[in-house]
Every structure is written in structure tokens, then in C-alpha cells.
Amino acid sequence: MTRALLILLTALLISQGAALSAPPNVIFILTDDLGWGDLGCYGHPITRTPNIDALAARGTLFTNFYVNASVCSPSRCAFFTGQYPSRHRIHGHYATPEMNKNRGMSNWLEPQVPNTARLLKSAGYATAHIGKWHLGSNSGGPEPDKYGFDYVGSGETDGPNGPAADPYYRANSTRLFVDEAIQFIEKHKDTPFYTQIWTLVPHATLNPTPEQMKEYPRLRAGGPTFPHASAAQIFSSSVTDLDTQLGRLFKKLDDLKLADKTLIIFSSDNGPEDIHIQNAGHSGIGSAGPFRGRKRSLYEGGIRVPGIICWPGHVPAGRIDKQSIVSGVDLLPSLCSLAGVKIPEDHPLDGEDMSDTWTGETRLRKRPLMWEWRFRIAGEPFHHSPELAIRDGKWKLLMNPDKSRVELYDLNQDLTQLNNVAEHHPDIVERLGNQVTEWAKTLPEGPRDRGAGKMNYPMPGQPKGATKKMAE
């Protein structure tokens, strides 16, 4: 071999190694109130989601993907900081300052807290946030540009239901968000970028356009000529349009030859909304799959959500990981690991680097996951969970801080959480119960709803006022 050829081969190997080790572009798509079972690739029998299904086929689908709260603001905090949201006194959704105070909450996530965007920006990433924020700007807090984003696109406008002058703003919002994301990506296609697209759909109030509703004419209540849309038609039309718009984003990555350089994370902030909530009374039939619980509940349906990771050539294609337990708090440490970014030592993590499970390994977590919910839960009592929960391996324990309502489930055998085996495994109950109650003692003190952690129903013959007590 000549010296010139050796130099050429060496240079080629070095360049290939550099390419393999180059940090990926990142797109984090976070849907709003999308249930575990709302996608075709997760088994939905009606709703069509071909583009997201194709994303799952090009990457890995996790069946044990969890968020760290059962409503939006705390769940988003966990994704963004790698920490449990209670550390920041984010126990429920951010609302007015008065409502936040009454629930013992902060009014916003402090901008100086290390977060995914700012850490990746320090490593040379261009950063963008597009879509819903809900980390405090609605209650007087800073706008997203104060958290390390170079670009902030459109989001919620004039409140959660959109402007009165445009009843279809929410229905068309995903198209708008994808347009803005494409513009940002085209501008930064030659440098690493981190783009958050946090959608408004399928959060209520859903009002799909007539054109979107044409996707499901047979779902119309009473048949095609009936004057009212069904909840199924409204919900499925909204989710399918979400899928259509994301398909445009995926195609643009292919057109720009960026697909192989881009890590896409797709998930939801919590489980599906309950139809008993007023603004979802016409549409709240999202699917939690086989699981008990919906939004606000600590049963599986409230906190186990879709989780899809795609990065061609690095994340195995067509893989379904049924063993690894991955969570929202893992996002920050996992992305920082892949990007070679050091996390500040004074920022203790509740998540862990799970990037090896993204790229093909299957393993157990080093630490269990824990949750709390201090408030009432909407809907049928069947979904009303205790206030605390912990998952360690196959075991899921739920209980109240006073150690009432102790429930233990083997999730490998009992997905729907119907068979409470606590009395048969006192050692596991003691171990996990001690862990979660000790953890709860470290959380900021604050008020709790009188109905929190209770599963009551006003049975016939109960004293007058029983219904009111159940609702409190």
C-alpha cells in the first residue's frame, strides 16, 4: 500500500468516525392529551395515523413509556428539566396566579433552571420552541425565549380555545406549527438544531374543520345525513389531521436529506381527557388502550403514553421494546449524553440516561419512577387513583400518604390493574411503600383537595350531601 493511499484511507476512516459520532439534530414532538391507544401502531381500530405509524416502523416503539405527571404543566416540566415537577412546586396545570396560590403552586418554571434547550444551545445547537408552552407564561411568567430558545413560534392564542374570530385556529394549528418548524429547519439545515413542536391537538376544545371531518363520514352520529357529529368523528378527524401535518414534516426531512441525521422523539404529555370534563363533553373519547385511568389519574392510562424514537442507522427500525421502562425525566440526560453535553453538577436528576435503550439495548431502570397527584380526578370512580404511585420493574404500588388504599399490581400479568395483590406480597408493599412515602415527605407542602385519593360514589340511601362530598 502506498503512503498516499494509506493517508487517504486514514482520512476516510477519520471522517466516517466523525460522522458516526456527530450529534444528531433533534425534533421533539409532544402531543396534548393523546392516549396510549390513540394511534394505529398502538392498536387503535379506527383512527388512521399512517405517518406516525411509519415513523414507528422506521424506529423503536416503547410500550412502557411514561410521563411524570398526569396533566400538562408538570409533565412538560419533567421533560424539560429531567426533574420531578414537584421540585418546582408544579403539581397541576398552571392557571391564574390566584388559582396557583390556592393549590400551593409556583406561577412559572424559573428560567435559570437548567433545561434541554439551554444545555443543547451551549453545545452549538440552534434551538426552537413552537406550539403550546404552559410552563407559566399564562400566569405572568417569562415567555419561552427566556429559556434558551433562539426562535419561538406560534402557540396558544387568546386562551385554550383559540380566538373567537377564528373557531378553527386549534384545528389548523398543527399545519401552522409544522410550517414554522420547516422554515426553522431549512434555515439551520447545515448546523445541529433542536426543535420542540408541542401541539394543541387533541386537547379539547376540538372543533375540526368540515374538510377534516370528511375523513370519517361513517362515524357521524346517526349516519351520514344526521345533523350532529359524533365524539368519534370529532376526535378521529383531529388526530388524523395531526398525523397528516406531521407527515409533511417527515417528508421535508427526507427532501433535505436530513432524515438520517435527525433524532425524532414522539410522545404525549398525559393520558386522554375524560368526557365528563365540560370542554371535552363532545369529544373526550381518546383511548388509554388496555389501561385503567385517564388524564389526572395515576393508574396506567393517565401516565403511560405513546413513546416513539426514530434515528435511522442508530435506533433499530421496526423494534418494539416491551421491557425497558422509559420516562419523560429521561429526555434531558439522554439527549445530553448523545450530544456530549455535560449536565451541571448542581442540577440533580430524577431521570437517567436511557439513550442505550433508544439505540437497541433492553434493560431495567436503575431507580424506580414515582408520582403524586393532590387533586380530584374527573369521571368514573373506577379511574380515581390514590395520591401516590411508584413503579419498580413489574410492580406498581399505589397508596395515599396516610397509607390508606394500598394497591399493588403485577403489570406483567395485570395491565388493567384489576387484581390487587397487596395482601399476598407484604414485603414488596413495605419496600415500595416506604420508598414512595419517604419521597413524598421531601416534596413541598401544600393544600390537597378533600376528594384527593378517594374512590367514592353516592350510593342510594346515603345522607344528603354525599354527592357533593364525592366531588370535592
> 23-365 has which fold?
Alkaline Phosphatase, subunit A (3.40.720)
**pLDDT value, residue 464:** 60
Say which CATH topology domain 370-471 has. Arylsulfatase, C-terminal domain (3.30.1120)
Least trusted range by pLDDT, from 188-197, 202-211, 368-377, 460-469: 460-469
More confident: 138 or 284: 284
pLDDT mean over 147-172: 89
Beta carbons within 8 Å of 180's beta carbon, 6+ residues apart: 130, 153, 154
pLDDT of 190 > 60? The answer is: yes
| CA–CA gap between residue 318 and residue 297 (Å, rounded) | 31
| Phi and psi torsions of 187, nearest 5° | -70, -30
- What value does the mean pLDDT take over residues 338-348? 97
Under the banding of pLDDT at 50, 70 and 90, the label for residue 456 is: confident
Output the average pLDDT for the chain. Answer: 93
pLDDT score at 125: 98
Confidence of residue 253 (pLDDT cuts 50, 70, 90): very high
> Edge to edge, what strands does the sheet with 388-392 contain?
369-372, 388-392, 395-399, 407-410
CA–CA distance, 67 with 414 (Å, rounded to integer): 20
The alpha carbon of 237 is separated from its chain's Cα centroid by a whole number of angstroms, namely 21
pLDDT of residue 9: 42
Distance CA 77, CA 80 (A): 5
Q: List pLDDT tens digits, range 264-310.
A: 999 999 999 999 999 999 999 999 999 999 999 999 999 999 999 99
Read off the pLDDT of each residue in 197-202 and give the average, rounded to a whole number: 98
Cα Rg, the chain, nearest whole Å: 23
Three-class SS string for the chain?
A: CCHHHHHHHHHHHHHHHHHHHCCCEEEEEEECCCCCCCCHHHCCCCCCCHHHHHHHHHCEEECCEECCCCCHHHHHHHHHHCCCHHHHCCCCCCCCHHHHHHCCCCCCCCCCCCCHHHHHHHCCCEEEEEECCCCCHHHCCCCHHHHCCCEECCCCCCCCCCCCCCCCHHHHHHHHHHHHHHHHHHHCCCCCEEEEEECCCCCCCCCCCHHHHCCCHHHCCCCCCCCCCCHHHHHHHHHHHHHHHHHHHHHHHHHCCCHHHEEEEEEECCCCCCCCCHHHCCCCCCCCCCCCCCCCCCCHHHHECCEEEECCCCCCCCEEECCCCEEHHHHHHHHHHHHCCCCCCCCCCCCCCCHHHHCCCCCCCCCCEEEECCCCCCCCHHHCCCCEEEEECCEEEEECCCCCCCEEEECCCCCCCCCCCHHHCHHHHHHHHHHHHHHHHCCCCCCCCCCCCCCCCCCCCCCCCHHHHHHC
Whole-angstrom CA distances from 220 to 79, 172, 234 are 37, 21, 9
> In whole angstroms, what separates CA 59 from the centre of its chain?
18
pLDDT at 12 over 90: no
* pLDDT value at residue 164: 73
- 382: which residues sit within 8 A by CB, 6+ positions away? 292, 455
Return the bridge partners of 131, or none.
198
Tens-place pLDDT, residues 122-133 = 999 999 999 999
- The CA distance from 431 to 445, in Å, is 24
Least confident of 21-25, 85-89, 96-100: 21-25
Whole-number Å distance between alpha carbons of 173 and 147: 23
Q: Grade residue 468 by pLDDT with cuts at 50, 70 and 90.
A: very low
> Which residue type sits at 341?
V
Share of the chain above pLDDT 70, in %: 93
Residue 467 has pLDDT above 90, yes or no: no
Q: Helix 72-81 crosses helix 331-339 at what angle (to 10 degrees)?
A: 30
pLDDT at 74 exceeding the cut of 50 = yes
Report the C-alpha gap between 197 and 180 in whole angstroms: 10
The better pLDDT of the pair 333, 456 is held by 333
Of the pLDDT bands very low, low, confident and very high (cuts 50, 70, 90), residue 465 is: low
> For residue 17, what pLDDT band results from cuts at 50, 70 and 90?
very low
Catalytic residue numbers, as ranges: 72, 134
Residue 7 pLDDT exceeds 50: no
Mean pLDDT of 346-368: 97
354 or 467, greater pLDDT: 354
Give the pLDDT band of residue 163 (cuts 50, 70, 90): confident
Other CB atoms within a 10 A radius of the CB of residue 380 amount to: 13
Work out the percent of the chain whose per-residue pLDDT is above 90. 88
pLDDT over 60 at 358, yes or no:
yes
Domain ranges (residues) in the chain = 23-365, 370-471
pLDDT of amino acid 192:
98
Instruction: Give 471's contacts (C-beta < 8 A, 6+ positions apart).
Output: 376, 451
- CB neighbourhood size of 214 (10 A): 11
Whether residue 160 is predicted with pLDDT greater than 70 in this model: the reply is: no
The answer, yes or no, to whether residue 458 has pLDDT greater than 90, is: no
Q: Which residue has the higher pLDDT, 101 or 2?
A: 101
- Asked if pLDDT for residue 51 goes beyond 70, the answer is yes
